[in-house]
Structure 1
Amino acid sequence: MMKAMHTHRVKQLLNWSGYLLLGLLFFAGGMARASVGLTEIAPTASDGTITLYYPSNAPEQAIHRGPFHFKLAVQAEPVRGNAHLIIISHGSGGSPWVHADLARSMVEAGFIVAMPEHHADNYKDDSDPGPDSWTLRPAEVSRAIDAVGRDPRFSPLLTLDKVGIYGMSAGGHTALSMAGGRWSPATYKQHCEEDLADDFQSCVGLTTRLKGNIFDGLKKWLALMVIRHRFSDTTMREHHDPRVAAVVAGVPTAADFDMASLQNPPVPLGLVTAGQDHWLIPRFHSDKVLAACRTCELVAHLPEGGHGALLSPLPPNLSGLEGDMLNDPVNFDRSQMAGVDKKITVFFEKHLLH
């Protein structure tokens, strides 16, 4: 009798274990099949459109946005991921599409990703890049966190006490500001007065380039006239948002920061650098941050990467000076970017989820 009861109990345990295993396999399979949703929060009187990528169970469909082609679940219902938000700050003239690959990596790890459209410095309107935009961007990021937190589709799925920030180029400037960095336009003016020829594109943008001819002197003179007018303000800018708990800056604009303010950031700060960046010469920007910061982590270094390495997908058919600045150098292996996206995602998992 006891033997029969024991045998029956073993069968029950085996059956229960089997159901548990099937349940776990079903759960894992469901996670593996999770798709990436795409939606927007409409613009307001003060802020532009916020684009969101997020976990969903709806099937992905082929879509296109301008020259970009994706498979995403448009307007799909979001599902719970890891309950954390990451804000991506785009570069000058940027769009929410050039970081879609990174957003997918983050969403597959359970994050909701939001990309605010920065005022007068985006792909729809690039009329006012530089210090005016850099001044506005951190508050735009904080209001984007507020907006996502108010949205009834996402607020039940999120806790906003530990938010991540990623930014590239001018967005990297935003990221450094969100990590506690202090800067002023006048500091940038001083940098351009001292290093104009060596960091020319950073100081003048896409308006012109030095060609090694008799007109270079005139170009530098005119550039300094404009810079001294636009970058004369000595007021230090800083922005603090206690919800920000981890930051990654990719090839950031950084020459205008008080490096002392980045020695010991109040939150974990990671950097991604590119050795062949001819737009923001590393020794004046990202390398200065790494040299000053005692606690920063080099998340990834791309020795053959140019300034556009972190644009993924890269905008097609870029030509002229813009193409020179953003297209991949001949020796750059773009296939490594999936691994870089994963490293950035792991940085946020490490600092936001534990």
Structure 2
Amino acid sequence: MKQLHIHHHVSLILAGLLAVCASLAQAGTGLMEIPGMQGDGPVTVYYPSSAPDEALQRGPFSLQAAWQGAPVAGNGRLVVVSHGSGGNPWVHSDLARALVGAGFVVALPEHAGDNAKDPSTPGPESWKRRPAEVSRAIDAIAKDAALAPLLSLDRVGMYGMSAGGHTALSLAGGRWSPALFRQHCEAHIADDFATCVGLATELKGNLLDGVKKAVALGVIRQRFDDAAWQAHGEPRIAAVVAGVPAAADFDMESLARPRVPLALITSGHDLWLVPRFHSDRVLQACADRCTVLAALPDAGHGALLSPPPPRDRMSALAARLLGDPPGFDRSQMRAVDLRIVRYFEQHLLPLPRRGAP
């Protein structure tokens, strides 16, 4: 009788798990915007929904999602995604859909002064604000009547790409300063010009290059002389993935022992954030205390933008910095998305049992 009781109990558990899996498999990818906190821009949220996906157009991006579809319970965990410089919520929609397919809710805050609608203050000015904007995005989710009851926010995942990768490293325990950014550019302006100048101009190997470097350094020295350490603690974040992060201005000692599990994704042909100044230095600092989730030797800086922005919507310089190098196989990015999903599952699940310490 005892064995029959145990067998019946196990059968009920398995049936429940199968029902949950079936509901997730049938669910659509909900999409909504909620207001940001304290005057922040909107937070875009992808989530499991009972509504079916439909074709949606957001600017030049064609998406499949259920706009304002009713939320349903997933795995109870939140992942915040920090977009890159001048970014938007749509270039990370493939990753968001993969996370939602595994039951996660995904929130993308709009970073002030460094987004597609307002790219006025990229670089260190935005980097100072971004980590707190991530914290307030979690707060906004916590106050949302539809989403908050479905989530436990004591262990949140965080993914960031490029400038968002800088944010990710900050939230993993790193500290940086504008003065270190200035020092990096003074030492490596020619070799890492895109990091220091962005999309304003480029070096072309002619007589004007010297003028461009001199003007750029003059502006950088004037604007970025603050040696105060920039750091931000967020105890709710429990695992971080940094994709092709901007990192030249970090105190590498602060990243030698990350506060939480930290994984990196690297691109060997990154022309915007030259790896030896950025991701390579982080990996040298944290060594076996962080994880290389994906090393993409043939990828460019924009490999993690999925779907990628249309080339006809970008300047020629942006297209060169973000475009895929010849021979790069973009089809592999689906597998990279799934590695990110598995990493967050490993470090954020399962939810604690009720009553457990």
TM class, shorter-length: over 0.9
Q: Does 1:152 align with 2:140?
A: no
In the alignment, which of 294, 297, 303 is matched to residue 297 of structure 2?
A: 303
- In structure 2, how many angstroms separate the alpha carbons of the residues matched to 1:347 and 1:329? 27
- In structure 2, how many angstroms separate the alpha carbons of the residues matched to 1:206 and 1:238? 27
TM-score under structure 1 normalisation?
Answer: 0.93
Q: Does 1:342 align with 2:343?
A: no
> 1:60 maps to what in 2?
53
By how many angstroms is 1:42 displaced? 2.3
> 1:352 maps to what in 2?
348
In the alignment, which of 197, 202, 212 is matched to residue 204 of structure 1?
A: 197
Deviates more, 1:48-57 or 1:26-35: 26-35
Q: Does 1:331 align with 2:327?
A: yes
**What CA deviation, in whole Å up to 9, does each residue of 1:88-108 have, x standing for no partner?**
000110000000000011111
Aligned residue type for 2:237: V
**What CA deviation, in whole Å up to 9, does each residue of 1:181-205 have, x standing for no partner?**
0000000111111111110111110
Instruction: Tell me the secondary structure at the aligned position of residue 53 of structure 1.
Output: strand
Q: Go from structure 1 to structure 2 and tell me whether the alpha carbon gap of 1:108 and 1:206 turns closer, same or farther (over 3 Å shift).
A: same
**Identity, % of aligned positions:** 60
Larger radius of gyration: 1
> 2:354 maps to what in 1?
none
Q: Go from structure 1 to structure 2 and tell me whether the alpha carbon gap of 1:110 and 1:311 turns closer, same or farther (over 3 Å shift).
A: same
- In structure 1, how many angstroms separate the alpha carbons of the residues matched to 2:349 and 2:8? 34
By how many angstroms is 1:35 displaced? 1.2
Instruction: Tell me the secondary structure at the aligned position of residue 40 of structure 2.
Output: coil
By how many angstroms is 1:350 displaced? 0.5
Q: Go from structure 1 to structure 2 and tell me whether the alpha carbon gap of 1:293 and 1:27 turns closer, same or farther (over 3 Å shift).
A: closer
- In structure 1, how many angstroms separate the alpha carbons of the residues matched to 2:273 and 2:192? 7
Q: Does 1:266 align with 2:259?
A: yes
Aligned residue pairs total: 344
By how many angstroms is 1:31 displaced? 2.6
Structure 2 gap segments, 5+ residues each: 351-357
By how many angstroms is 1:28 displaced? 3.9
Q: Does 1:102 align with 2:98?
A: no
By how many angstroms is 1:266 displaced? 1.3
- In structure 2, how many angstroms separate the alpha carbons of the residues matched to 1:46 and 1:15? 54
> 2:268 maps to what in 1?
275
> 1:7 maps to what in 2?
none
In the alignment, which of 110, 130, 134 is matched to residue 117 of structure 1?
A: 110
- In structure 1, how many angstroms separate the alpha carbons of the residues matched to 2:336 and 2:219? 37
Instruction: Tell me the secondary structure at the aligned position of residue 191 of structure 1.
Output: helix
Q: Does 1:238 align with 2:231?
A: yes
In the alignment, which of 28, 50, 57 is matched to residue 35 of structure 1?
A: 28
Q: Does 1:314 align with 2:314?
A: no
- In structure 1, how many angstroms separate the alpha carbons of the residues matched to 2:250 and 2:226? 14
- In structure 2, how many angstroms separate the alpha carbons of the residues matched to 1:172 and 1:351? 19
By how many angstroms is 1:130 displaced? 0.9
- In structure 2, how many angstroms separate the alpha carbons of the residues matched to 1:191 and 1:111? 38
> 1:6 maps to what in 2?
none
